[in-house]
């Protein structure tokens, strides 16, 4: 077990804490990173200026990728009671006609693609999860007043509301302190983007006065509004604030009743939780790392709420950064690995910002031209079914795909032709953002026309791997990640991936704490003679694994701890790919053993998850 945090006596009233990683901000991103590092045996100090985690609703949408990250830290089962799976988003005209319904029904990553959830309860699950780790300490009511970094670490000065001061010495600092990030401002990192001119008032209520499921986006030209069903009888309403209106005026009982009367028969019987006006921002930090300080979540990017991707993008940051930071802190990898965090996450965050802006343009255009363009565009759905499927099924949603970083894939050159220049120059208009989003996927015809063909567009390398149900040799049917754990994995279909492995490659894989897995048709799992010692055998319980491998040319996949595909190869190329991956990781000859005795342990057991869920 890792040593506890080390308080060091100092002069006066200043207490000094020594730790591996300091995280500023106990929101969902900071809590998730702390949980991941805690599982890896890394010492963490989590700093939060508030006295407790925020207890009112904010984000309401959780996607399958984020649920998979909760699973990776052993907390998915504790979160599920606070979610509603298969939560569709429906766009409705002012006459009540549903002209688009986003209803993705696939579960290739092991979970429902769209879920409603209660964020305060999800944050509570993450916070309670930290109880598992004596080497993780959370300090509420502590504001960061200053920090400075040098070649060996970061010194952070904090102060609590009573004037007590602490000095924290950490190897690395993560700023997860929101859109107005103190950490980002001290680093002087540009936060580029724009702010929408209109505002919205959010109203959360208990004892749902409507009860109908899903999310409804009412495109009322007089005042667009949203009605969203949430778990535990909570409902959210959002109304556009019209020119000349203020939060103070709208919050008056008579004005609030007038708004709620659009959707509720008796406004006097509504049980309010919270009312708040907010502005839609779309901003992106120019870089996510400055030496030993890193930015994550809203500190690195903020986006409009229309696709519910602000929360989910922050959780993606935590998943990408967590395993890399753990490797560097333990001495397994050089700190150049942390440069891949910006390289991999920033481009996708930009794509999600564009997606959110496009959804807002469709729902609430700010000009008459925008309304006419949207209505004309929607009318084409019935003429071109393929176009309708593309948008209604959200096939345009940009999934993370890493072309640089820890991937064994040569970066293709983009040919910026005349159409690319037109799209980029028109990006500030609603049609321009829509066309730009379509062109970002170079698998699409528009994307290929604008930027040139990507020879690797159909490769799974750099993409998230599927998570089907698999059978273990004990006979249990579980999700794939429950077998793999939070570690590197080499998974081969139908053949031993260790056959012919060189001593050098085997030593590298052992140093990484990686596992070898062979996937078989479920009928073959009871035959063990073709599975050598040290290789995990799994049965393809529903045939999805076989289907996946049938669509790719190679039969062996190298998986990162965040379940992205680092590379693919034939069984005879496994050794060379391991060596190449080690170079991408900037792998060192030996890891530091003082922090964690065990490297890359699998996820915590079901018993520990149950204990967290019940508060034991």
**Binding annotation for FAD:** 20-49, 288-298
3-state secondary structure 502-547: CHHHHHHHHHHCCEEEEEEEHHHCCCCCCCCCCEEEEEECCCHHHH
Nearest C-alpha neighbor of 149 from the set 40, 291, 53, 317: 291
Separation between Cα atoms, residue 273 and residue 208, nearest integer Å? 11
Sign of CA dihedral 326, 327, 332, 337: negative
Q: Residues forming the annotated binding site? A: 20-49, 288-298
Residues 8-16: contacts with CB under 8 Å, at least 24 apart: 10/167, 13/164, 13/165, 14/165, 14/166, 14/167, 15/164, 15/165, 15/166, 15/167, 16/166, 16/167, 16/168, 16/169
DSSP structure string for 80-106: GGGEEES--EEEEETTS-EEEEE----
Answer yes or no: are the C-beta atoms of 355 and 372 closer than 8 Å.
Answer: no
Q: Which two tokens stand for residue 550?
A: 């049938």
| CA distances in angstroms from 298 to 18, 28, 70, 181, 285, listed in the order given | 27, 10, 19, 8, 10
Q: Which two tokens stand for residue 455?
A: 């020879």
Nearest C-alpha neighbor of 596 from the set 330, 348, 199, 341: 330
Helix (H, G, I), strand (E, B) or coil at 120: helix
Separation between Cα atoms, residue 56 and residue 358, nearest integer Å? 28
Nearest C-alpha neighbor of 314 from the set 25, 604, 100, 603: 25
Question: Residue 219: enclosing H or E segment and its boundaries?
Answer: strand 215-219
Tell me the helix, strand and coil percentages in the chain, rounded to 5.
35, 25, 40
Region of 110 on the Ramachandran plot (φ > 0 left; ψ -120 to 50 alpha; else beta): left
Helix (H, G, I), strand (E, B) or coil at 472: coil
The phi, psi pair for 600, rounded to 5°, reads 55, 55
Answer yes or no: are the C-beta atoms of 581 and 461 closer than 8 Å.
Answer: no
Region of 366 on the Ramachandran plot (φ > 0 left; ψ -120 to 50 alpha; else beta): alpha
Answer yes or no: are the C-beta atoms of 36 and 318 closer than 8 Å.
Answer: yes
Helix (H, G, I), strand (E, B) or coil at 39: helix
- CA torsion 281-287-290-293 (nearest 10°) is 50
Separation between Cα atoms, residue 136 and residue 114, nearest integer Å? 31
| CA distances in angstroms from 390 to 118, 307, 384, 396, 397, listed in the order given | 29, 16, 10, 6, 10
Nearest C-alpha neighbor of 491 from the set 547, 552, 538, 551: 538
């Amino acid at each position: 077990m890792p040593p506890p945090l080390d308080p060091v006596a100092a002069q006066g009233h200043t207490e000094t804490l020594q730790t591996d990683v300091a995280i500023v901000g106990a929101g969902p991103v900071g809590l998730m990173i702390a949980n991941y590092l805690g599982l890896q045996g890394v010492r963490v100090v989590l700093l939060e200026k508030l006295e407790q985690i925020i207890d009112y609703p904010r984000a309401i949408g959780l996607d399958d990728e984020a649920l998979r990250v909760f699973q990776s830290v052993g907390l998915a089962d504790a979160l599920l009671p606070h979610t509603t799976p298969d939560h569709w988003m429906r766009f409705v005209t002012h006459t009540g006609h549903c002209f688009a319904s986003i209803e993705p029904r696939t579960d290739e990553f092991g979970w429902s693609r769209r879920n409603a959830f209660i964020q305060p309860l999800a944050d509570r699950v993450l916070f309670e999860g930290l109880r598992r780790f004596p080497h993780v300490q959370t300090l509420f009511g502590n504001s960061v007043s200053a920090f400075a970094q040098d070649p060996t670490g970061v010194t952070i000065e904090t102060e609590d509301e009573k004037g007590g001061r602490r000095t924290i010495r950490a190897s690395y600092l993560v700023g997860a302190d929101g859109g107005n990030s103190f950490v980002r401002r001290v680093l002087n990192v540009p936060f580029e983007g724009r702010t929408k001119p209109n505002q919205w008032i959010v109203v959360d209520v208990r004892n749902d006065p409507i009860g109908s499921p899903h999310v409804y986006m009412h495109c009322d030209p007089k005042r667009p509004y949203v009605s969203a069903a949430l778990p535990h009888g909570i409902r959210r309403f959002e109304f556009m604030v019209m020119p000349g209106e203020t939060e103070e005026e709208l919050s008056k009982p008579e004005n609030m009743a007038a708004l709620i009367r659009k959707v509720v028969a008796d406004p006097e019987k509504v049980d309010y939780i919270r009312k708040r006006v907010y502005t839609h921002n779309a901003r992106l930090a120019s870089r996510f790392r400055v030496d030993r300080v890193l930015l994550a979540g809203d500190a690195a990017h903020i986006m409009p709420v229309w696709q519910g991707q602000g929360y989910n993008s922050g959780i993606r940051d935590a998943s990408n950064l967590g395993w890399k930071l753990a490797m560097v802190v333990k001495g397994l990898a050089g700190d150049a690995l942390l440069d891949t965090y910006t390289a991999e996450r920033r481009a996708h965050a930009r794509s999600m910002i564009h997606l959110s802006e496009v959804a807002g343009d469709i729902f609430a255009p700010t000009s008459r031209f925008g309304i006419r363009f949207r209505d004309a565009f929607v009318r084409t759905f019935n003429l071109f079914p393929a176009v309708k499927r593309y948008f209604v099924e959200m096939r345009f949603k940009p999934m993370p795909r890493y072309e640089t970083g820890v991937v064994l894939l040569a970066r293709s050159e983009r040919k910026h032709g005349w159409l690319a220049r037109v799209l980029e120059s028109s990006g500030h208009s609603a049609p321009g953002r829509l066309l730009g989003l379509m062109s970002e996927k170079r698998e699409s015809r528009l994307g290929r026309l604008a930027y040139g063909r990507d020879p690797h567009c159909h490769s799974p390398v750099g993409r998230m791997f599927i998570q089907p149900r698999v059978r273990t040799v004990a006979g249990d049917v579980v999700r794939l990640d429950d077998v793999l754990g939070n570690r590197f994995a080499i998974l081969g279909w139908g053949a031993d991936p260790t056959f012919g492995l060189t001593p050098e490659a085997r030593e590298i894989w052992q140093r990484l704490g990686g596992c070898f897995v062979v996937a078989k048709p479920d009928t073959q799992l009871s035959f063990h003679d073709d599975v050598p010692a040290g290789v995990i055998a799994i049965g393809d319980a529903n045939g999805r694994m076989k289907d996946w491998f049938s669509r790719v040319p190679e039969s062996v996949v190298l998986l990162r701890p965040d379940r992205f595909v680092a590379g693919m190869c034939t069984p005879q190329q496994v050794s060379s790919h391991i060596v190449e991956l080690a170079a991408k990781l900037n792998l060192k000859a030996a890891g530091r053993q003082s922090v964690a005795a065990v490297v890359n342990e699998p996820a915590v057991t079901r018993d520990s998850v149950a204990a967290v869920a019940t508060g034991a």
